[in-house]
């Protein structure tokens, strides 16, 4: 009887990428020991472990490691002490007065303001005392009251939005009479005068009249670069009493730095 010839081996079939991903699964230690293939596929697990889920898990894991490290060193982190309800009300009243910061109601120390944040329709800022370490979150606070004097509505609206987003209380005036009336009704910490549109508003005359009627006014003059051979209006503004000058165009950080320097210089005078 002739021997049966062995059948030719089948060529290995290539599986698709999705089949290979589905075949590979995550298994626990117990499942590996039992030789079972349970769980979800790696592709599904990788998709669930992407984006916000990974960031949340990383933050939670970092907080757990930080807490473990603090317990090992027997250390407590510097957590601010909250103010009482009465002290928070007093701080709110302080910061609702334009241009007035006040002092800490607990120890009469100076305040340190954190960057502004939006909470719904309100703007909130963390107020902490540099001496006793107490802190509170105060809503609708501003750093300074600023009066913008410019003859162009576009410049007034641009400066108003730029300064209001930084937390300042901003009022504007389109002529010298309105500026004097507004400053007399509620004195501003800083007055910004535009010297670029001389045909609409004489900025140098506004600075002269403002300083003559209110000698303690802190004036910041702004103007673009002039043509070659023409007198620089910022140099003349210095002679008329401007504390600081800023060249247009400028960024929001540059303007805020100039306002801070002008307030610091006027407080030392």
pLDDT at residue 29, as a whole number: 56
Q: CA torsion angle for 233, 192, 179, 234 (degrees, to 10)?
A: -10
Shared domain check, 239 and 151: yes
Tokens of 247: 């060249």
Shared domain check, 126 and 165: no
CA distance to 62, 65, 76, 179, per residue, from 71 (Å): 14, 10, 8, 60
pLDDT at residue 261, as a whole number: 84
Examine the fold and report which residue of 139, 156, 176 is the final residue of a domain before the chain moves on.
139
Query: Cα separation of 168 and 9, whole Å?
Result: 83
Tokens of 198: 């001389």
In a domain, 25, yes or no: no
pLDDT at residue 200, as a whole number: 47
Q: Nearest Cα to 244, choosing from 267, 218, 223?
A: 218
- The answer on pLDDT for 44 being more than 90 is no
Name the β-bridge partners of 147: 171, 191
Q: Which domain holds residue 135?
A: 81-139
Shared domain check, 164 and 131: no
Q: Sorting pLDDT into bands at 50, 70 and 90, what band is 229?
A: low
Query: Cα separation of 214 and 205, whole Å?
Result: 14
Shared domain check, 252 and 163: yes
* 157-166 confidence digits (pLDDT tens): 999 988 887 7
Q: What is the domain-level CATH number for residue 239?
A: 3.40.50.2300
* 55-83 confidence digits (pLDDT tens): 667 777 777 777 777 677 665 555 667 88
pLDDT at residue 199, as a whole number: 43
Shared domain check, 122 and 227: no
Shared domain check, 109 and 203: no
Q: What's the structural domain count of the chain?
A: 2
- The answer on pLDDT for 41 being more than 60 is no
In a domain, 70, yes or no: no
Shared domain check, 121 and 193: no
Shared domain check, 170 and 232: yes
In a domain, 34, yes or no: no
Shared domain check, 179 and 244: yes
């Amino acid at each position: 009887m002739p021997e049966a010839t062995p059948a030719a081996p089948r060529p290995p079939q290539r599986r698709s990428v999705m089949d290979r991903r589905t075949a590979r699964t995550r298994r626990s230690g117990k499942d590996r020991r039992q030789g079972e293939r349970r769980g979800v596929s790696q592709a599904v697990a990788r998709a669930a472990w992407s984006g916000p889920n990974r960031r949340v898990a990383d933050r939670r894991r970092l907080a757990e490691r930080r807490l473990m490290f603090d317990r090992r060193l027997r250390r407590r982190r510097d957590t601010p002490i909250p103010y009482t309800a009465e002290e928070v009300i007093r701080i709110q009243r302080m910061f609702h007065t334009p241009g007035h910061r006040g002092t800490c109601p607990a120890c009469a120390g100076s305040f340190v303001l954190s960057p502004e944040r939006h909470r719904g329709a309100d703007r909130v800022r963390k107020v902490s005392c540099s001496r006793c370490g107490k802190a509170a979150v105060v809503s609708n606070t501003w750093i300074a009251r600023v009066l913008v004097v410019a003859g162009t509505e576009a410049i007034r609206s641009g400066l108003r939005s730029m300064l209001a987003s930084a937390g300042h209380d901003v009022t504007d005036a389109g002529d010298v009479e309105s500026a004097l009336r507004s400053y007399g009704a509620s004195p501003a910490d800083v007055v910004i005068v535009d010297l670029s549109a001389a045909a609409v508003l004489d900025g140098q005359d506004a600075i002269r009249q403002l300083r003559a009627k209110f000698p303690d006014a802190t004036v910041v003059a702004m103007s673009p670069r002039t043509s070659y051979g023409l007198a620089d209006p910022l140099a003349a503004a210095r002679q008329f009493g401007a504390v600081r000058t800023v060249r247009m165009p400028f960024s929001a950080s540059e303007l805020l730095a100039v306002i801070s320097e002008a307030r610091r210089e006027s407080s030392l005078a």
